[in-house]
Structure 1
Amino acid sequence: MIFRPELSPPSLVQTKRKRQALPASWMRSGTSKGLFVNRRHLPKAQEAWAPWILAAMGSKTEDPRQIDGIGGATSTTSKVAIVSPSSHPGVDVEYTFAQVAVGKNKIDYSGNCGNIASGVGPFALEEGLVEVHPGQEKVDIHILNTNTGQILVETVAVDQEGYYAEEGDFRIAGVKGTGSEIKLAFVDPAGAVTGKLFPTGNPEDTIVVDTPRATATPFSVQATLIDVANPFVIVNSSSLPLGFLEGSPEWLDMIEDIRRKAAIMMDLAETTEQAALTRGTPKVLLVSPPYSDAASDLDPRPNIFVLAMSMGQIHPSVQLTGAVCLGAASFLKGTVVHKHFRGNSRASLALNGEGSHADATDYLCTRRKIHIAHRSGQIPVEVHLDGEQRVDRCSVSRTARKLFEGNVLFYV
């Protein structure tokens, strides 16, 4: 019997899809993993990227396992960096960050990811997008993050051939191995998305949740709504309603209710329904004094503890932009972070870069460092201030490693 397609039932007739091969690198960047792509390999218009990215990562079919793509089924392993040369004066490369939703056919371009940003410099070197002069051992790479319009300066080690030298003995919390140190500076990071350091005009606000999903009655919390590197809602954990198991569905609903109301207060959304559509912005950080058990094995002793949220779930450590934002808020008068700040001789608060120790309330210091404890260890953040309420830059250190390179195959 000869099979005749023209007589096949309509349900058996399918539109033939085209298989794409996307040249890319898969990298561990800080404590995240992501797909790094040279923009020239994607469609020219950004509006046309979504089908490619979603199919490559495995979110096209809304599968929470991302089994038909290379995504890792978590928010920290479902990220994409698109990198290209820049024509802007003083800028080497441009970088667009895409947070790919897990279990949803959606991409969030609303903010930056600091961990993924730390891999942009190494990737740009590997792609030949940055010029390295003979004899250089380190290179400063100026990066424009197109999501926020912010400038990042990344100091990266290079080998004799001008490529990224990834081997080293620098270690970061959340990664078992070591690598070469990547210094990442967020330049003039305030107002990255909203245009304001404090979008509400206040260093501390009371967030009132009128129609909570998890609690029987309305509640309020004390928080700092701040935009440094990314918009964050920094909540005083002691002001949270009691009676909820941390990480339970009810507890997660409560935190999401806070995030949605804060989004409205920060003019990032007009309604809670609209705020629910963009779970990546703003993000939530819950702060408290460092727990004695969490700090016992950490040296130097941390100044503050943070529980970070990422796309509706507890983050295993803390976002790099979250650490940057928290570090800045620690030295700004009136924030809930400043109220929890633990100033002591081991806080490594450097005065004018000379290593002198300063009291936590001495706002004339131009360069200071805070150690932030999280679930996986701690992260130091160096904060440069210009006066009392202006953040000049914040610096953190990361490592990165290329895991594989080649073509990602998918159908669109």
Structure 2
Amino acid sequence: MAMKQNKLPAAYYRGGTSRAIIFHQRDLPVNQKEWSPIFCGALGSPDPNGRQLDGMGGGISSLSKICIVGPSKHPDADVDYTFAAIGVKSMDVDYSSNCGNMASAIGPFAVDSRMVTAREDGEVTVRIHNTNTGKIIHSTFPVVGGEAAADGSFAIDGVHGTAAKIELAFIKPAGSKTGKLFPTGNITDMLDGVEATCIDAGNPCVFIQAKDIDIDGTILPDSMDSNPELMSKLETIRQKASVAMGLSKDEASAPQSIPKIAIVSPSTSHKLLSGDTLDENTVDLVVRALSVGQPHRAVPITVAMAIAVAANIKGSTVYPNTSSTRADISGVTLGHPSGKIMVGAKFDDDGSLATAIVFRTARRLMDGTIYWK
């Protein structure tokens, strides 16, 4: 018997180099176990063709995301933000990590949906509690006519054009899931015969050097994806890191989205996805990151944060690959397949990580009603 489609209020935002459907928590079932079929249906998962044509997903991990936003009971926050990474070819719904790119859209969504009251024109700071990690993020951006500004002169690599600048300050991001900056107790560990730094700042991550796995550090995503031996090696290291960091009891049960893994190499001039050349003098090191088994076309924000921290720590796998002369004295500048990103890391007097700051853009693409079968 034919049935009517299901429907719920929702919005669709670009945040940094990602896109996601955003739901207000009040519109979802109280029982979180009932969320999975809604999220998968709305995005078009599972799709064995990997395209999510029957939903709003884009066929890659950075475009297969869900955000849930609601009022916060945290004393230092205005809203709660829960992130879910959705499988493209599967019905996996993973709440184990935060998405820093989509975090840039949460403040604008809170203002646009009137969850947070802002002045008609000026600047506003929305305090966000990320429930995946328990961490606080301060999102500061301009407001025009009581709504988050879209127009502006700030550009980020990987997104065409310019938009309003959004400052994201991640407050004390160390130990987001493990409670420690170095969950294994070591600055480096040997994982599957490869030296690796396991670090938890924003999200748990594992960093290895391109030279140690005998690849060109400027390799582009499609070339990585078409190299099954390389992808298998990276996944094995990632799973071993999960066990070493205490994120899973064994390799088979390692979460899909954490730890994230990235390959680092010294700065060198090389071709980007756009065909343009990235000048080696404009970045401090080169990064190639993966998430949910897919190479990223731009470095995830939480990976960039963790790399910026590791770049300042002698003995880490990132430190020797980082230029001693900074391209931007405000922080560490990373080269990625779509361009570059600068991350500022501020430390307390005791050496602990106080704040990591990045700048992004975001925009409301639509809001209304979303349908799924």
Q: TM-score, normalised by structure 1?
A: 0.84
Shift, 1:40, TM fit:
1.1
Shift, 1:187, TM fit:
0.5
Which runs of 5 or more structure 1 residues have no equivalent in the other structure? 1-13, 210-219, 350-367
Partner of 2:123: 138
1:26 aligns with 2:12: yes
Counterpart CA distance in 1 for 2:280 and 2:229 is 35
User: What SS does structure 1 have at the residue aligned with 2:267?
Assistant: coil
The structure whose Rg is larger is: 1
Shift, 1:64, TM fit:
2.3
> Does the CA-based 8 Å contact 1:332-1:389 persist in structure 2?
no
1:124 aligns with 2:110: yes
Shift, 1:388, TM fit:
6.2
> More deviation in 144-153 or 307-316?
307-316
> In the alignment, which of 185, 188, 192 is matched to residue 204 of structure 1?
188
Partner of 1:103: 89
> Does the CA-based 8 Å contact 1:333-1:389 persist in structure 2?
no
Which runs of 5 or more structure 2 residues have no equivalent in the other structure? none
> Does the CA-based 8 Å contact 1:92-1:141 persist in structure 2?
yes
Identity %: 39
Shift, 1:370, TM fit:
0.9
Counterpart CA distance in 1 for 2:349 and 2:297 is 34
Counterpart CA distance in 1 for 2:165 and 2:370 is 29
User: What SS does structure 2 have at the residue aligned with 1:119?
Assistant: helix
Matched to 2:210, the amino acid is: S
1:169 aligns with 2:142: no
> More deviation in 332-341 or 190-199?
332-341
Partner of 1:154: 139
> In the alignment, which of 55, 61, 64 is matched to residue 75 of structure 1?
61
Partner of 1:382: 344
Partner of 1:9: none
Counterpart CA distance in 1 for 2:243 and 2:7 is 41
Q: TM-score, normalised by structure 2?
A: 0.92
1:348 aligns with 2:333: no
User: What SS does structure 1 have at the residue aligned with 2:331?
Assistant: strand
> In the alignment, which of 355, 366, 373 is matched to residue 404 of structure 1?
366
> Does the CA-based 8 Å contact 2:46-2:88 persist in structure 1?
no
1:42 aligns with 2:10: no
Provide, for residues 242-281 of structure 1, a one-character-per-residue CA deviation record: whole Å limited to 9, x for no partner: 6997431111111111111111111111112112xx2211
- Cα pair distance change 1:165/1:332, threshold 3 Å: same
**Correspondence 1:251-400 to 2 at 5 A:** 251-275=230-254, 278-293=255-270, 297-298=278-279, 301-344=282-325, 346-349=326-329, 368-387=330-349, 389-400=351-362
- Cα pair distance change 1:23/1:402, threshold 3 Å: same
Q: Say how many residue pairs are matched.
A: 363
Q: CA RMSD in A?
A: 2.0
Matched to 2:247, the amino acid is: L
Counterpart CA distance in 2 for 1:142 and 1:50 is 27
Counterpart CA distance in 1 for 2:148 and 2:125 is 12
User: What SS does structure 1 have at the residue aligned with 2:302?
Assistant: helix
Matched to 1:377, the amino acid is: G
1:239 aligns with 2:212: yes
Counterpart CA distance in 2 for 1:224 and 1:145 is 25
> Does the CA-based 8 Å contact 1:294-1:373 persist in structure 2?
no
Provide, for residues 278-304 of structure 1, a one-character-per-residue CA deviation record: whole Å limited to 9, x for no partner: 221111010010122359644961101
> Does the CA-based 8 Å contact 2:60-2:294 persist in structure 1?
no
Partner of 1:3: none
- Cα pair distance change 1:249/1:299, threshold 3 Å: closer
Counterpart CA distance in 1 for 2:75 and 2:146 is 22
